[in-house]
Amino acid sequence: MYRHAIVRPPGSNFAFGLTTANLGRPDYGPALNQHEQYCQALERCGITVTMLDADESFPDGTFVEDVAVIAGGRAILTHPGAPSRQGETVQIQGPLRRFFPHLSDIQPPATLEGGDVCEAGADVFIGISERTNHEGSRQLSEFLGQAGYSVRIVDIRAIPGILHLKSGLAFLGENRLLVWDVLASLRAFEGYEIVRAAPSEEYAANCVLVNGILLFAKGFPVTEKKLRDLGYNLELLDVSEFQKMDGGLSCLSLRF
């Protein structure tokens, strides 16, 4: 059960952040409204939301999940693979220390972003990507091993269109994963029941199970129906402005 989430609204320069999506520039007003709706959904799930101020120094700063990993009762500061985001870890330390007085951190030459880390019960999947390297996965694996987790490595660098592992993977509970079709047969996912995001609905794979409610991106009806037929209680959220910046539902909060 999650009890807390840390979030940061986008700043007015949000459109100048990093993106590979080719979906156009986001609109700031609608992005703020979508972020507010997201925070309200977290609260409806029983979570106390800590809202940080927007940080104009970092256009990508709203994607707070990338700058820390929280697992096993500890918080680990990452070392983002995008140089323009590395200062975000400094900004998140104060808010995190309210809940986790003793922070660990990933040290260079390691790179690691939280979007490449998917906790699935006793397992944690770590993606090797353009933003997370092998040394980053090694250092995080050491921390997670101390906390009793089993780590599974997933190299996604050869898969077109996937920025972070969680762009194409979500843990649905009950030993079940929602994945892009191209990931479904990977050995790392052996032992899990696989639900495939529908073709052309790959973005839908970035969803978040929060205290029995599945926060799910609006606009992906085939995958939505699959999940409803499996018995999930979905709350649909419009995150189209964040999709333009390679972001999704998991990226917008640190949950613990």
The residues that are catalytic are: 164, 251
How far apart are the C-alpha atoms of 18 and 82, rounded to whole Å? 9
Contact in structure between 67 and 95 (CB atoms under 8 Å): no
Q: Which two tokens stand for residue 236?
A: 């649909």
Structure tokens at 37: 């709706």
| CA-to-CA separations, 128 to 9, 75, 153, 162, 212, in angstroms, rounded | 28, 20, 7, 11, 29
User: Mind giving me the DSSP string for 71-94?
Assistant: ETTEEEE-B-SSGGGTTHHHHHHH
Distance between CA 239 and CA 249 in Å, rounded?
Answer: 7
The Cβ of residue 254 has, within 10 Å, a number of other Cβ atoms equal to 23
**Whole-number Å distance between alpha carbons of 251 and 198:** 21
Long-range contacts (CB closer than 8 Å, 24 or more residues apart) made by 30-33: 30/240, 30/241, 31/241, 31/242
- Contact assessment for residue 243 and residue 21, using Cβ atoms and an 8 Å cutoff: yes
